[in-house]
Structure 1
Amino acid sequence: MAASQLSALEGEGLEAGEPALTKSNPGCLYSEGQRLALEALLSSGEEAFRACMQQERLPPFLSADEAQALAATAEDWTVPSQEPCGAGTGTAIADGNTGSVTYWPGQSEEPAPLLRLGWPKDTAWKGITRAQLYTQPPGEGQPPIKELVRQEIQAACKLVAVVMDVFTDPDLLTDMVDAATRRWVPVYLLLDLKHLPAFLALAQQLGVNPWTTENLDIRTVQGHTFQSRRRRQVSGRVREKFLLLDGDRVISGSYRCVPS
């Protein structure tokens, strides 16, 4: 949390002779006016957001696309259901005593999830680290990026670990299932929670049940969640895309296949 935010929350005043934090100061990372405008955006939409900005005399701090995306993805607070049959569901918060003062530990009190499929024991690289740039369309003498990715997955013998925001490529999923079930290579997939339905739809089209496929472990993650005092929330999304192979090779980036 920024020092300027802590000062605002704790009501600390400025010491004698201490200069006030201005917008040009690098330490000024928190604005109460911006927070109020964001609250209005999440609870009442873009018109209320613009009205609050005008009332607070704020310069623009969100682009039109950002404001539209936040308003579209905002949802009511939910809490996990306590019913045994309601696993994975949530209920809207109705308790007036529950709010933004809820205890949030600096670190999770839950133990880190185990890598149940195992992990290469000796992953310390002792050679010379090399980096190679690939482009799409490919450069002279280079394979297309998708071909490179598939070759590396098919050549993996110890580990395939993937972090992906949107996973909808049937060829890559087929290669990973083949690595997991035929070559018995541990395959880990870490996917963005919001885009999990797209991945599950792809798996269904291929006749793959990702939850019962042997040697394949799938987990989901999402970005930080902002919860407003008006009981609205918005969560960040995964933007990273990288592939770890055998503990000693990494492919990072993105590509898009378009007709030539």
Structure 2
Amino acid sequence: MIPAAFDYARPHTVDDAVRALADGGDEAKVLAGGQSLIPILRLRLAFPELLVDVGRIPELRGVREDASGSLVIGAMTTHHDVIHDPLVRRHAGLLAAAAKTVADPAVRHRGTLGGSLSHADPAGDLPAVLLALDGELVAAGPQGRRTIPAAEFFTDYLQSALRPDELLVEVRVPKTENWGFHYEKFNLSAQAWAVVGVAALVRRDDGRLAESRIGLTNMGATPLRASATEEALAGADADPAAVARAAEAAAEGTRPASDLSASREYREHLARVLTRRAVLAAAGME
């Protein structure tokens, strides 16, 4: 199908983009890599009156370290660049590993980190990863910039805390080079959305699992943390049996949907199985 008619703006600075969004009001949409938005437009599931193309804003790309020691990743940095960036690979390996599983090479070369997070699809791989990383998102709007914790950014299915006149400009990720990590997902084909995914970070100390962070993909209307499993693993022996027992609580507090890909009960089963696998791999026990 052909999208409905819309106006088009291509700003060259963040300030210009924010002004364009403010002028467009609720009927404006941001075009980043286009891998999520363009299919929706073609299916006429969205009818924006204005598209604001932010692909020519150089400050929205790239990875750097800030004074606090966190990584700062521009919202327009592509999945491909996230995968291969040496700072991301060294200090936030979970993000690089998960980005490598996104769709196919063509999508990874065009799709962007900020676009994926702003789309707020709970079946997307990267929102749950950012949740596990305790990341933050920086939005620019007419009143300036504000920082939103990942735990507060995803508000409902395909909805985020971004206001209509705000633009996601960067993603901030604490360094986790001393943590083991693994992203495990089950999908029906190589290019399909995850039926369920698990992003695991584990920090070991003196033969024990000192701390774990576990993000769940496609287990509710938003990405979720497997809090009950995290609590059960805190201070546990680095033992596969202890991990298996803790993983049995992975689906607690979740509300997965039943659809053509899987029933709710099957998704709950997958959450338990994949959590066990992801934690064992992250802890170096597999």
Same fold (TM over 0.5): no
Higher strand share: 2
Structure possessing the higher radius of gyration over alpha carbons:
1
State TM-score, norm by structure 1: 0.21
State TM-score, norm by structure 2: 0.19
Higher helix share: 2
